[in-house]
Structure formats: C-alpha cells, structure tokens
Amino acid sequence: MHILITGGAGFIGSHLTERLLSLDHHVVAIDDLSTGSVANIASFRSHPAYTFHADSIFNRHLMAELVDMADVVIHLAAAVGVKRIVEFPVQTIETNVAGSEIVLALASKKHKRVLITSTSEVYGKSTKLPFSETDDLVLGPTVNSRWGYACSKAIDEFLSLAYHRERHLPVTIVRLFNTVGPRQTGQYGMVLPTFVRQALTTQPITVYGTGEQSRCFGHVHDIVDGFVQILNCDRTIGQIFNLGNTTEISINGLARQIIDFTGSTSAITYTPYSEAYAPGFEDMNRRVPDISKAREYFGFNPTRSLDQIIADVVDYTRTSLHNHQPQSSPV
C-alpha cells in the first residue's frame, strides 16, 4: 500500500515508517520538524520506497496531492508534550483541531482509509479504572491550559466519528497511552527519557509532584504492532481503541528502576507542579488502559516489559550523549 504519515519524522512516526517499509509498503511522510527531526529518519531516508516532505499539514495544496496518492493516511502530526502544551496553548489547539480537520476533510473527499491518533489524556481526571473506550471523559476547567490538549484531541475524535457516520469515511481512532522508546526526547516534558538522561549524566532526577502518581509505559514497538494490526482489520473502521501497556508503576518507582538499571548515583528531587508547569496545574493520579477491545478485535498483545524499554532508551541515550547530540526527537 501507499501510506501517508503526517508527523512522520516524529518519535512514533519514524518507528512506524521503519516497520511499514520492512513490510514492503511505500511510505510518504510530511513533517514540519517542529518537534520531529531529520535524525529520526536518517536510517531510512534514502530507502527507494520512502519520500519525505519537510512541510506542514497546513499546506492544503500539498496535502491534497499527498492524500490523493495514498491508499491510507495515518495522522500523527500534533502539538505534543505537557510542557509544550502549557507553554504554547494557541499552537496546540490550532494544530490539533484545524490540522486534523484538513486531514479528515481531504481524506473524506477521496474516501481514503484514515487512522487518527488520540490520547489517554481525553479520560482526564476520571477515577474509574481501567479506562475503557466508552467511559465518560472528565476534564478540568478551561483556565488550565493542560486540558486544551485533551479537548483538542476529543474534538478530533468527534469530527472523525462525524465524518464516519455522515460521510462514510473509513476512519479508526487510537487512544495512545504513554508510549516510550528510543528517539523520544524529554525536551517537551516526557518523563522517561528525561529520567534516563538525568541518570546517565548524574544529574538529579526531577520528580514533579509527590511521585506517587502512576503511569503505564508501552514500548513504541508494541504500539506500532497495534497500528499495523488495525490496518489489516476492516472491522476496526468507525471504532475507537485504547493502545498501551497495562503494567502500572509510580513515578517514584520509575525513578528508582532507572537508577538501579544504570547504577547512577543521581539523587531524586521533588518539584511542585505549580513550579514545573503553571500555577493551578492539575495532574491525574493513575492512568491505566483497558485493552480488551483491541485484544478482541485484532489480537493486540503488548509484550515488551519496562526493563526492556529502559534498556533500549538507555542504549539510545548513551549513543546520543557519546555523539554529543541533543535528544533527537520529541514527545
């Protein structure tokens, strides 16, 4: 198939491209390199079945051409990372709402298969765990710009389902939980690459809040497996799926596991959310996916452990540090 990936030079986009090329698909990627990087695509940029456009999804003319030539569109381009979202709320909302609207409108016009990437953030402060796809979304007040990201992705979901129901667009929505692995950077507020880098450079490990909040970390290769499975399963059209790992760990536990793994002498320090982000910043205590729907529809089965994730991220970060490169991509 000819597959168009928006945000293809990002963390997940670059891993997904590698996998799709290995499966003999043709991949065209568009990325404005706002948080992605050419380093992420360096290993396959000259692949004969790969084309890269350093451009924005807001270039409607180019996007119309690319969508026209594609069999499938995988929409990953978005403003991401808690830090970036709090610092640049206008860009976040515009990219995630208006950008996705362009992708959906063009795909609908040509009746192309689309995968839209949403996020576990849409569950907000819900305390009904684990989160399943039809649960209520419990968001905080609009004065807290953190919820702008969740809302913008929720609008993407509403719009995708509206296109499906009204115009028969073959669309699937994936709600990603914390996805981690090589090439992810801590620059925009991602916890795992930040801790690994701090441990390897013997800097203090900076825990925000009490560290008792917990998350489930999924290896990017497991998530890419899920994307490929969805592409091969027409039953997923018009549906929403959680994709993530179900093993939960507190942020304190994560810091300790990284310190143990690396043998670092870094100390753990604590910073209140109000200092780390903005006054009034709200975090959610737990976030656990119910992945039974993904398992039932397409056999989704994340197998990579947190140990393996840490080992892969440590390898990648060691190489980056050795080459004196800044962390290459974001998230």
Ligand X SMILES: NC(=O)c1ccc[n+]([C@@H]2O[C@H](COP(=O)([O-])OP(=O)(O)OC[C@H]3O[C@@H](n4cnc5c(N)ncnc54)[C@H](O)[C@@H]3O)[C@@H](O)[C@H]2O)c1
- The binding site for ligand X (CB under 6 A) comprises 6-7, 9-13, 30-36, 56-58, 76-78, 80, 95, 99, 117, 119, 176, 178-179, 329-331
Length of the chain: 331
State in angstroms the smallest separation of the CB of 279 from ligand X. 25
Is residue 277 part of the annotated active site? The answer reads no
Determine which helix (DSSP H) or strand (DSSP E) holds 208, and give its type and residue range. strand 205-208
Q: What stretches of 124-246 show up as alpha helix (H) in DSSP?
A: 146-167, 191-200, 220-231
Closest approach of ligand X to the CB of residue 271, in Å: 21
Structure token digits, residue 116: 């839209």
Angstrom distance (rounded) from CA 195 to CA 256? 10
Write down the catalytic residue from 50, 123, 149, 273: 149
| Minimum CB distance to ligand X, residue 237 (Å) | 20
Q: CA 321, CA 318: separation in Å to the nearest integer?
A: 5
Tell me the C-alpha distance between 313 and 320, whole Å. 10
3-class secondary-structure state, position 105: helix
Q: Say how many Å lie between the first and final Cα of the chain, rounded.
A: 28
- In the complex, the smallest distance separating the C-beta of residue 213 from ligand X, rounded to whole angstroms, is 15
Could you give the 3-state DSSP secondary structure of residue 284?
coil
Kindly tell me the number of DSSP H helices and DSSP E strands found in the chain. 13, 13
Smallest distance from the beta carbon of 31 to ligand X, in angstroms? 4
Q: Which is nearer to ligand X, 149 or 281 (CB)?
A: 149
The residues annotated with a catalytic role in the active site are 149
